Amino acid sequence: MRAFLASLSLLAAPVLAQPPVVPFEVPAEPGIRVETVAEGLEHPWALAFLPDGRMLVTERPGQLRFVAKDGRLSAPIAGVPAVAAVGQGGLLDLALAPDFARSGVLYLTHSVGTDRANMTALTRARLAGSRLVEVTELLRNPVAKTGGAHFGSRLLFLPDGTLLMSVGDGGNPNVKLDGRNIRDQAQNPRAWFGKVLRLTADGRPAPGNPGRGWDAHVWTMGHRNIQGLARDPRTGTIFATEHGAQGGDELNRLAAGQNHGWPLVTYSLEYSGKPISAER
Q: How far apart are CA 121 and CA 233, in angstroms?
A: 28
Any domain includes 119: yes
Beta bridge partners of 65: 57
**pLDDT grade for 160, boundaries at 50, 70 and 90:** very high
Same domain, 189 and 273: yes
Structure confidence by residue, pLDDT tens digits, 227-245: 999 999 999 999 999 999 9
Query: What does each C-alpha distance from 59 to 47, 147, 209 come to in angstroms?
Result: 9, 20, 32
The CA-atom distances, in angstroms, between 46 and each of 60, 148, 184, 187, 230 are 9, 18, 29, 28, 14
Instruction: Round to whole Å and give the CA distance between 176 and 22.
Output: 35
**pLDDT for res 182:** 66
Interval 53-65: pLDDT, tens: 999 999 999 999 9
Instruction: Work out whether the CA dihedral 252, 255, 259, 263 comes out positive or negative.
Output: positive
For the chain, give the percent of residues with pLDDT over 70: 86
d(Cα 258, Cα 239) in Å, to the nearest integer?
13
Q: What is the β-pairing status of strands 250-254 and 218-221? A: unpaired
**Are the C-beta atoms of residues 169 and 183 closer than 8 Å to each other?**
yes
Q: State how far the Cα of 245 lies from the Cα of 266, in Å rounded to an integer.
A: 9
Q: How many domains does the chain have?
A: 2
Residues 133 and 82 in one domain: yes
Residues 237 and 276 in one domain: yes
- Tens-place pLDDT, residues 19-58: 456 676 777 778 888 889 999 999 999 999 999 999 999 9
First to last CA, the chain: 34
Kindly report, residue by residue over 87-145, the tens digit of the pLDDT.
999 999 999 999 999 999 999 999 999 999 999 999 999 999 999 999 999 999 999 99
Rounded Cα distance between 67 and 131, Å, is 15
Do both 166 and 132 map to the same domain? no
User: Which residue type, as a one-letter code, is found at position 255?
Assistant: A
Shared-domain flag, residues 156 and 240: yes
- In a shared domain, residues 126 and 156: no
In a domain, 156, yes or no: yes
Please tell me what DSSP assigns to residue 187.
G
Q: What is the signed CA dihedral for 180, 181, 185, 190, rounded to 10 degrees? A: 40
CATH number for the domain harbouring residue 72: 2.40.10
Last residue of a domain, one of 120, 140, 160: 140
Distance between CA atoms of residues 241 and 252, nearest Å: 7
Peptide bond into 233 cis (omega under 30): no
* Amino acid 174: pLDDT: 59
Question: Cβ(98)–Cβ(161) under 8 Å?
Answer: yes
User: Residue 155's domain spans which residues?
Assistant: 150-280
Active-site residue flag, 150: yes
- Residue 193: which of 162, 232, 157, 147 has the closest Cα? 147
State the pLDDT at residue 173.
59
Residue 215's pLDDT band (boundaries 50, 70, 90)? very high
Q: Is residue 60 part of a domain?
A: yes
**Domain shared by 64 and 88, yes or no:** yes
Indicate the residue among 90, 110, 140 that finishes a domain. 140
**104 in a domain, yes or no?**
yes
Catalytic residue among 150, 217, 223, 243: 150
Residues 79 and 187 grouped into a single domain = no
Of 111, 140, 169, at which residue does a domain stop? 140
